[in-house]
Amino acid sequence: MPEANPKALDASELAALKPEDTKFSDLGIIKPLCDACDQLKFKHPTEIQKESIPWALEGRDIIGLAQTGSGKTAAFALPILQKLWDNPQSLFACVMAPTRELAYQISETFESLGALIGVKSAVIVGGMDMMSQSITLSKRPHIIVCTPGRLQDHLENTKGFSLRNLKYLVMDEADRLLDMDFGPKIDQILKVIPRERNTFLFSATMTTKVQKLQRASLNNPVKVEVSAKYSTVSTLLQYMLFFPLKHKDCYMVYLLNELAGNSTIIFTRTCSDAQKIAVMLRNLGFPAIPLHGQMAQSKRLGALNKFKAGNRNILVATDVASRGLDIPAVDIVVNYDVPQTSKDYIHRVGRTARAGRSGKSITFVTQYDVELIQRVEKDLGRKLDQYPLEKDEVMMLQERVNEAQRIATIELKEKGGDSKSGKRGRGGNDDDDQDRDDDVVQAGNRKFNNNKKGGKMNKRRR
């Protein structure tokens, strides 16, 4: 590195500089990777990149805390790629992510940053064919991006695949990885990868559990924190709307009508809500598409791609889409239900106003959600403004909305029969639905979820 960049600054000097004044080369990044950054129009490192890359290049373990959309992925991708360049080796790094969509996105970042140095990366997530993944793995990619469930499955069942020589382990959205039932899987994975490795934890928020993990797998880590615990970007305008529960759909339709043409994500608490709203909106002629954990993986990817491509500009999603996903052009986030925790709120509204753009978030509050919203406001340290609108105009839509609701309910009932059987069919060949089940947890059905899992474990043992 020194010869690659003799002018590398030391950490203290760097810290004094603003992100706008630094260049990637100042951080000690080698030329081919700087070129790749240029091609991707990354002109200056972001705060988190500036803080973490020099430490990473020094070979330290890192805990990175930064809000979403702040360039976290590149913050760990760049140093890994650079180390790989110095010391090429297959199965060099493993990146774990809580959702399949996020895994694909991280892999894309690696591929585009590593295009110039010829990096091969593989995505190993549930819902896809085990066999073709085994083949991909046996071609020995440099980087594996995975969800923990499926990776563990491969470590256990795919002969000839091991992570014995792994050098880097990254956990993106680390708090979520530990939040859910990933815990045991991750423990198992940690057992079979070498202790002499570098570990990076990245997350927007930090829980006590992360600290637990930190003890288990980190070695004298550097903690890099670029902003306060609960915060949102300044270019984001946050609003709330207060109304009685029964008018919820009506308000939503009014809003979408007012804001037509913007790309919008509507977050719901449950999968069935997401499905129902999407159908209802479609009946009213809105280009809406659902995204939730009860959809097959291929459909989830398809929905996301349609939304990204702009074919449908309203995405109705559960929290499956709330973290890590980088969809650059989201203008508005609607919280159909108030998020259960402040953390979820931060993640959800973090889908918009990314990378310096502006954005709006509107949270629906009904008589039952007052306590929740107050908690969020307390954590944010500010009151949310009331979104300005004309109440009478909203009420004029009531009739049409009711009609659409009715049709949607009938439609779903008709489809309900096949979707149930479809789900059962899928359960048979789809072992890794870890990252899908989280929606069920969100829906307050934890008990049901656990039962189901118990059954699965038995099946596998046999």
Partner 1 sequence: MTPLQKSLFHSFNQYRDVAYCNRDIDNAKEIRKAYALHALNHVLKTRDRVLKNNERISKAQKANRDIEEMRDQGFTRPKVLILLPFRNTAVDVVTALIELSGSEQQEHKKRFYDEFNLLEEEEEKADKPMDYQETFNGNIDDHFRLGIKFTRKTMKLYSDFYSADIIIASPLGLRTVIGAEGDRKRDFDFLSSLEVIIMDQTQQFLMQNWDHIDHILEHVNLIPKDAHGCDFSRVKSWYLDGRAKYLRQNLVFADFLTPEINAMFNKHMKNVGGKLKIKQSYEGSMIDAIAQVPQTFVRVEAQSLATADDLRFKYFVEKTLPTLQRSAITQSHTLIFVPSYFDFVRLRNYLEDNKYSCAHICEYTPTPQVSKARSDFFHGRASFVLYTERFHFFRRYNIRGAYHVIFYGLPDHPQFYTEIVNYLALKADASSAEEATFSCSALFSRYDMLKLERIVGTDRARKMCSSGKNLFVFS
Which of 7, 41, 159, 447 binds partner 1 (CB under 8 A)? It is 159
Contacts (Cβ under 8 Å, ≥6 apart) of 64: 48, 51, 52, 72, 75, 76, 200, 201, 202, 203, 224, 225
The 3-class secondary structure across 147-165, one letter per residue, is: CHHHHHHHHHHCCCCCCCC
* Piece of 71-79, 125-133, 267-275, 379-387 that binds partner 1 (CB under 8 A): 125-133
Q: Spell out, one character per residue from 213 to 252, where the chain touches partner 1: x when CB under 8 A holds, - when not.
A: ----------------------------------------
* Piece of 72-80, 152-160, 232-240, 436-444 that binds partner 1 (CB under 8 A): 152-160
Supply the angle between the helices 342-349 and 370-380 in degrees, to the nearest 10: 70
3-state helix, strand, coil in the chain (%, to 5): 50, 15, 35
Q: What value, to the nearest 5°, has the Cα angle with vertex 93 and ends 61 and 429?
A: 125
The Cα 278–Cα 290 span in angstroms is: 6
137 touches partner 1 (CB under 8 A): yes
Nearer to partner 1, 378 or 459 (CB): 459
431 touches partner 1 (CB under 8 A): no
Which of 157, 298, 374, 409 binds partner 1 (CB under 8 A)? It is 157
Nearer to partner 1, 139 or 415 (CB): 139
The Cα 71–Cα 206 span in angstroms is: 17
| Coil, strand or helix at 203 | strand
If you compute the radius of gyration of the chain from its CA atoms, what whole number of angstroms results? 23
Question: DSSP per residue over 59-111, as a string?
Answer: T--EEEE--TTSSHHHHHHHHHHHHHHHS--SS-EEEE-SSHHHHHHHHHHHH
CB of 94 to partner 1, least distance (A): 17
CB of 248 to partner 1, least distance (A): 47
CB of 428 to partner 1, least distance (A): 14
Q: Write down the residue that tokens 């598409």 correspond to.
A: 289
Using a 10 angstrom Cβ sphere, with 0-12 exposed, 13-18 middle and 19 or more buried, the burial of residue 104 is middle
CB of 160 to partner 1, least distance (A): 3
Nearer to partner 1, 7 or 462 (CB): 462
Nearer to partner 1, 135 or 396 (CB): 135
131 touches partner 1 (CB under 8 A): yes
135 touches partner 1 (CB under 8 A): yes
Q: Write down the residue that tokens 């894309």 correspond to.
A: 108
CA proximity to 249, closest of 392, 409, 373, 401: 401
132 touches partner 1 (CB under 8 A): yes
Q: Spell out, one character per residue from 164 to 193, where the chain touches partner 1: x when CB under 8 A holds, - when not.
A: -x----------------------------
DSSP state, residue 237: E
Nearer to partner 1, 133 or 322 (CB): 133
Nearer to partner 1, 138 or 451 (CB): 138
Bridge pairing between strands 288-291 and 314-317:
parallel
134 touches partner 1 (CB under 8 A): yes
Counting residues that bind partner 1 (by CB under 8 A) gives: 15
138 touches partner 1 (CB under 8 A): yes
160 touches partner 1 (CB under 8 A): yes
Binding site for partner 1 (CB under 8 A): 130-132, 134-135, 137-140, 157-161, 165
